[in-house]
A and B are shown apart, each in its own frame.
Chain A
């Protein structure tokens, strides 16, 4: 067993442990912090797989954006010290059994599937290449999904404002 595989096992144990604590912790704020650690572990896994751009995007968008949003919403809606009510034992047992069954089934399928060996030379996956393809309009370029993603983000931004706006407060000056 070489060193890189040992590093992989450390990262994997970190990701799975933090994820498990994130879904079982009784305090919601701790749960969010464990989710943060799990996402950082996944960014480390991307670095380990040598896809630096995805690792950077993961760190910026997930760790710096989504988790911060989740923590904001926790502070807006919860008293962070309160314990959440424990789920009933029957629900825990059945959810655990369903998950274990799913894990066993998929691991069996993955383990007995013979993957084909890669063919062709490895493509250069560095940032310059990704950036060129992302706005390329030629065959194999991703300009159309890129523009669609920008429209989606604009629509999400407007939608968030409309949903979270208090009724009758469109005119800020008219609040009594």
Chain B
């Protein structure tokens, strides 16, 4: 593995994933939680591309997975922002602690 920088790229994506995880655990604002989820999705994309590029260069599955993940992330972000705007309209806040109607 000294020829290809795969292991360094994996270290980078692990770091990015857990930075996103830290944000997900500490923040209580819906928009910043959404940003942390975007970081996590991006670290997964880096992994797919790196494995495709350095371990399985004879096929293109990793690239296609990345393309479809980006598509679905775009749809997810759009729906999430519609929900955030609706939440702000009904609660005048985007803090997850304030949206507790479903809490038992």
Contact = CB atoms under 8 A, between A and B. Distances in A.
Contacts of B46: 42, 45
Interface of B: 1, 5-12, 14-23, 25-29, 31-32, 34-36, 38-39, 42, 45-46, 49-50, 53-60, 63-64, 66-68, 70-79, 81-86, 88-89, 94
Interface of A: 5, 8-9, 12, 15-16, 19-20, 22-24, 28, 31-32, 35, 38-39, 42, 45-46, 49-51, 53-54, 57-58, 61-62, 65-66, 69-70, 72-74, 76-78, 84-85, 87, 91-92, 94-96, 98-100, 102-103, 106-107, 110-111, 114-116, 118-123, 125, 129-130, 133-134, 142, 145, 149, 152-153, 156-157, 159-161, 163-164, 166
Given A16-B19, A23-B26, A73-B31, 4 more contacts: A95-B25, A118-B54, A118-B55, A130-B63
B71 A103 contact: no
A15 B16 contact: yes
Contacts of A95: 21-22, 25-26
Contact of B14 (A74, A110, A149, A156): A110
B19 A23 contact: yes
Nearest to B35: A35
Contacts of A94: 25
Given A19-B16, A98-B25, A130-B60, A110 B7 contact: yes
> What secondary structure prevails in chain B residues at the interface with A?
helix
A160 B79 contact: yes
B82 A51 contact: no
Nearest to A50: B53
B32 to A, nearest CB: 6
Given A39-B42, A62-B38, A84-B29, A125 B19 contact: no
13 contacts: A8-B9, A23-B19, A28-B32, A32-B35, A42-B46, A45-B12, A49-B9, A51-B63, A77-B84, A98-B21, A102-B17, A125-B60, A160-B81
